[in-house]
Every structure is written in C-alpha cells, then in structure tokens.
Amino acid sequence: MLKFFLIGALCLSASFAQARSYIDGHLHYVDFFQESEGMQALLKAMDQGNISHAAIMGIPVAKKWQEDEPKKPRYYAGDDAAVYWYSATDFYVLHAIQQLQPAQQKRFFPFLSGFNSNDKNSAAHIRRHLEMNPGFWQGIGEVFTRHDDVTALTQGQTPRANNDAMLKVYRVAADYDLPVLLHSNITSKRERNPLYLEELEDALAKNPDVRFIWAHAGTSKELHRHQEELDFLRPLLERLLAQYSNLYIDLSWTVLEPYILDSNEQPKAQWLKVFNDHPTRFVLGSDVVGSFSNLGATLQGFEPLLQALPKDVAQAIAQDNFRALLPKKTRQ
C-alpha cells in the first residue's frame, strides 16, 4: 500500500509541476568561458520545463586558460588561473536575442552585466548601452561583488555592494527604472557570522528607489561546502525584508537546499512562514550557466515549496513577483 501511495504522490507532484508555468529570474546565456549551447537549445529547454519567460544575462568575467596549462579548465574553480572583467558578454546576449523571431524575443528580459563593478567608469558604460539600444535592457546584473572564489581569482580590488562605482551604477538603475540583480555574499568561507552585511545594507539604505534582487540571499555553493547551513540566515532575511521595502530575494538553488527544504525534501515550517509573511518579495532562479539540459528540472525542484504554499503565494513566487520588478514600461 505504501508503495502505491508514494507512486501516486510522485505522479501528483509531477502533474502540478507540469501544469505550473514559471519565470526564470536568473539565467546566464553563457558560461565562464563565454560559451553557450545556443538559443535553440535554450528555447527547447524552456518549452520542456514550462518556463514562459526568463531574465537572461551574460557573465561579467571570463576564465583565463593559462599558457602553462595543457588542458582547458572546465569551470572558474578548475584551476588557479585568474578571471577578468569581460564586457563583450552583453553583445553576445544582444546578438542572440536579435536573431530570434519577435514572439521568441518577448520571452526574454535581458539584463546588462558586462562591467567592472570596481570601476567608476562603469556607470557611463551602462548608460551608453542603454542609449544605443533603447528599451532593450530590462535590468542590471548579475553584478559580481563578494563572490568567494570568483572574488579571489578576479584581478584587482575586491568589489563591494556599496563602493563608489556601484553607487553610481545604482543611480543609472534608478534613472532607467531597472532592477539590479546583485551577488553579494553574506559572509566568507571561514566566518559563521554576517561578515559583509554592512555593505549590502548600506547600498539598500542609500538607494531606496532601486529594486534590489539579492542573488541566492547571499549564499553560494562554496559557502555551503565549507559552512553547510548558516543558522543566522533566516532570521536575518526576516529582519531585512521588514526593514527594506526595496529588497527582493532570488531563490536560486543554493537557498533551496539546505535552507528551505529538509532532508526529506519538504519545506520547513519556519521558512513557510517567511514566504507567507512576505509573499511579494521572492522570485525563482535557475542560475544555469550556458548549458540548459537541467533548466526545467531545476525550476521544478521548487515544487515541494510551491505546493506547500497558498495558491496565490505560489503563483506570485513562480511568476508574478518577477514581472512586478521589471520597468513600468515593460509591465504596461
């Protein structure tokens, strides 16, 4: 009897996942080598995963293949070679979308990411992009600031969410009504306290007219590898969401586990309360990088959470909240 119950439960879950439509709020068209499987592979994966739209962006750095390395690294952490700021990533996104049919183009919300977040010239660089392609770009990001191993490998100073260069970028975002997807780790691999919180809060407080999407709530794969679950994260999120009305949370995969879901892949009651208390402040993201075969499965991995929430809250997190973050002209 238990066997049939489990099979039935799995089928029911699959049915919900198949029926629900998602917006992916965090998708990288290219990987850290600025390579991609291409638009046709992406569109196929979106159709198979029931993903109606996606916020699509490049990656603002490129991984170097060093002269003395006989084999190309497979990821940014594959060896000790540096990563460097790479502005051409935005042109790859622009070109890929421009090749599509008009109906296909409307499925994407392009975000500008190809700038050095330590360079006070970057704000002018972003303005030029926006002026050259009026109405095309729908957001800024993913902006890399504190990013564990990426930060360690990036040439130059450590970027911060509240440095002078980024404060100038936020003014551009406000002028053009663009949301900002910000990667700013909450702590380092070694400190079990919100070490870099002040940088994020300073940015939020100084830019109340900018909609900030905090990439995976300040967590990352590397943080989990060294720290596992940070017990301060949920209470901190509750306090930040109550204090800053311009803060939104990207629930990419590093938040889903080990935080939201327990060992049985069921949502924890304390986290359900956070979503019910702040139903308009969370969006979904796959955070895939240039390869799209796992896109649908990644977003459907949120189904245990979505099915445990009221239908209107689940709908908001799966689709509506991200639409509300887009420029007013796009929403009209």
Indicate whether 12 belongs to any domain.
Answer: no
More confident residue, 156 or 320: 320
- Smallest Cα–Cα separation from 81: which of 95, 102, 96, 67? 67
Q: In whole angstroms, what is the distance from residue 144 CA to residue 115 CA?
A: 9
Tokens of 82: 């540096």
Q: Which domain holds residue 121?
A: 22-331
pLDDT over 60 at 78, yes or no: yes
Mean pLDDT of 32-55: 98
Percentage of the chain beyond pLDDT 70 is 94
pLDDT grade, residue 18 (50/70/90)? low
User: Residue 6: in which H helix or E strand, if any?
Assistant: helix 2-19
The SS3 assignment for 41 reads helix
CATH code for position 283: 3.20.20.140
Q: In whole angstroms, what is the distance from residue 196 CA to residue 299 CA?
A: 29
Tokens of 101: 């049919």
Indicate whether 16 belongs to any domain.
Answer: no
Q: How far is CA 208 from CA 66, 179, 189, 195, 314, in A?
A: 43, 12, 30, 23, 27
pLDDT over 90 at 138, yes or no: yes
Indicate whether 281 belongs to any domain.
Answer: yes
The SS3 assignment for 56 reads strand
Indicate whether 15 belongs to any domain.
Answer: no
User: Residue 169: in which H helix or E strand, if any?
Assistant: helix 164-175
* C-alpha triplet 177, 140, 148: angle, nearest 5°: 140
The least confident of 146-150, 184-188, 326-330 is: 146-150
Q: Are 196 and 155 in contact (CB under 8 A)?
A: no
Strand pairing of 83-85 and 61-63?
antiparallel
Q: Are 185 and 112 in contact (CB under 8 A)?
A: no
The number of CA neighbours under 13 Å toward the Cβ of 248 is 27
Q: In whole angstroms, what is the distance from residue 306 CA to residue 256 CA?
A: 12
pLDDT tens for 152-180 read 788 888 999 999 999 999 999 999 999 99
**Positive or negative torsion for Cα 35, 22, 278, 273:** negative
Q: Are 250 and 57 in contact (CB under 8 A)?
A: no
Q: 56-68 b/e with 16+ CB inside 10 Å = b?
A: bbbbbbbbbeeee
pLDDT over 70 at 76, yes or no: yes
Indicate whether 4 belongs to any domain.
Answer: no
Mean per-residue pLDDT of the chain: 92
Indicate whether 134 belongs to any domain.
Answer: yes
Tally of domains within the chain = 1
Indicate whether 275 belongs to any domain.
Answer: yes
Q: How far is CA 172 from CA 93, 139, 165, 230, 245, in A?
A: 20, 11, 11, 34, 19
In 6-93, beta strands by DSSP E:
22-28, 51-57, 61-63, 83-85
More confident residue, 154 or 311: 311
More confident residue, 114 or 257: 114
DSSP characters over 187-233: S-SS-SS-TTHHHHHHHHHH-TTS-EEEEGGG--HHHHHHH---TTH
Indicate whether 5 belongs to any domain.
Answer: no
Q: Are 167 and 203 in contact (CB under 8 A)?
A: yes
- Smallest Cα–Cα separation from 57: which of 210, 252, 248, 203? 252
